[in-house]
Amino acid sequence: MPKTKLAYNVSDISKTARSIRQQLLDLDRLPSHVELLNILARSAGYRNFQHFRTQQEPTQDLTPPVSESPHIDLAMTEQTARYFNFNGQLTRWPSKDSRARLCMWVIWTHLPAHQDLGEHDMNNLLKDLNTFNDHALLRRALIDFKLVTRTPSGNVYRRNEKEPPLELELVLKLIRTKKTQKRPAI
């Protein structure tokens, strides 16, 4: 079990040093680990270490773990980009939830930030962003994935401002590449 890190702060270091010295002199032996924790806690004005621990907020370890680095799933981003045509329209609904979620993030980028949309405006916007003529599916998915909020009556929609996944930038880049490589009609 990992140990919780607790910050030890005192307002007067001189008073704390005198208190620790006196408590060490009162002992006839070298203090154990727990006794030393209690001495430190008492010198800071607490009854004992347990009292000190209950009064503290655990400090956050600001050093990131070595094994946890941002990972972008390149295969998933390429597969997700395939759901969009050269106009940036969603051509079919993904069967996998992870791809559907990423597709909805792409749709989310087309929604105006910090602006309310009426139901009619939202429907028109979503109709332009897909080729399979199911704007209601997109609207429900945006709400289910918490990318959009709506009033209980369903008359007003608003984009939720949140941090997008790392993969979104790459998917958007792949879609833009399709636009520039658009093939002429034969």
Burial label for 90, CB within 10 Å (0-12, 13-18, 19+), is: buried
91 and 144 inside one domain: yes
Look up the domain containing 80 and give its range. Answer: 74-180
23 and 98 inside one domain: no
Beta strands in 12-165 (DSSP E): 116-118, 148-150, 156-159
56 and 104 inside one domain: no
167 and 79 inside one domain: yes
69 part of a folded domain: no
142 and 81 inside one domain: yes
Share of the chain above pLDDT 70, in %: 89
pLDDT per residue as tens digits for the range 121-172: 999 999 999 999 999 999 999 999 999 999 999 899 999 999 999 999 999 9
**Prediction pTM value:** 0.61
185 part of a folded domain: no
107 part of a folded domain: yes
Final residue of a structural domain among 38, 62, 86: 62
Q: What single DSSP character describes residue 29? A: S
**Predicted confidence (pLDDT) at residue 57 exceeds the cutoff of 80:** no
pLDDT per residue as tens digits for the range 107-116: 999 999 999 9
Q: Report the helix count and the strand count for the chain, using DSSP H and E.
A: 8, 3
Distance of CA 172 to the CA centre of its chain: 20
- Residues 36-55, mean pLDDT to the nearest whole number: 88
